[in-house]
Structure 1
């Protein structure tokens, strides 16, 4: 298993794996399949938000990325994350290795918090996050509708205390 930053040539494999997640209806509210062209912008500029892939025997079998949490400047240093594995490699420890690598990348890039929203019935993803030091901080009830079903999402976060911003005196007094 080799974990590395994604390259533009990985876009077709990333799209294929993401489309499996869309088809399975257990990890995203997205319903429209993605193409390699849709994925290209994610890997074209990773100066702030990385995309990592896992290679097994030369084939990309999983990916994870960081993305913007919110556009407002007060949220700088917080990233949302996603992780997807090809159906054929799930439950083999690949997700844990990939998520740990993504968290190391996030911490090295100065993020102080990484978070995500996970369907409450997606026990495998919730267990993965817990095993990597995330805590569940709440549940968005009826967060969105997927094919006529309102779904709840657990909110998970992992904080890197060493990267937490220090408030200046003016911010503390406010």
Structure 2
């Protein structure tokens, strides 16, 4: 299986929505979101994603297998070099190294753009995502306790970060 990594295009919108919606509908282990996304939502997202915050897709024979994206961390200019990332891999393609390739590509793209840090919040019980981040050089720096509710229960989130530059 030859998997290519590239920037997302509007033509990917329907498949990106499908991957994200699967997580919302069936897994409940990666997002507090409860409203499904439409292809139009995802087209708008792709079209309006800031150039400093890429969306990378893994594609094989026209099928999107997963995606990783960066978004602004905060609006203050002092945080312009920090990206908050998300990564989703379509369930049938997990465990095949696609998530690691996507995250590593996102790291390199963000480094090229000039980011100095990537970070995210991961549900504390999402061990697969936590392990992926560790394999890609992220460190766990803390826990947001009772960060939000999902399906009537409080969820703690582990904060992960990776410095993309050497700091002297």
Query: Structure 2 length normalisation: TM-score?
Result: 0.94
- Distance in 1 of aligned mates of 2:102 and 2:165: 21
Counterpart of 2:7 in structure 1 is 5
Counterpart of 1:30 in structure 2 is 33
- Distance in 2 of aligned mates of 1:111 and 1:42: 20
Counterpart of 2:138 in structure 1 is 134
Query: Structure 1 length normalisation: TM-score?
Result: 0.91
- Distance in 1 of aligned mates of 2:110 and 2:60: 23
Q: Flag structure 1 segments of 5+ consecutive residues without an equivalent.
A: 167-174
Query: 1:160: how far off?
Result: 1.4
CA contact (8 A) 2:144 2:156 kept: yes
Query: 1:42: how far off?
Result: 2.3
- Distance in 2 of aligned mates of 1:54 and 1:137: 28
Moved over 6 A (4+): none
Counterpart of 1:125 in structure 2 is 129
For residues 127-171 of structure 1, the C-alpha deviation after alignment (integer angstroms, 9 at most, x for no partner) is 000000000000000000001000000000000124x6x9xxxxx
- Distance in 1 of aligned mates of 2:152 and 2:21: 20
Counterpart of 1:156 in structure 2 is 160
Note the aligned Cα RMSD (angstroms). Answer: 1.3
Report how many aligned residue pairs link the two structures: 164
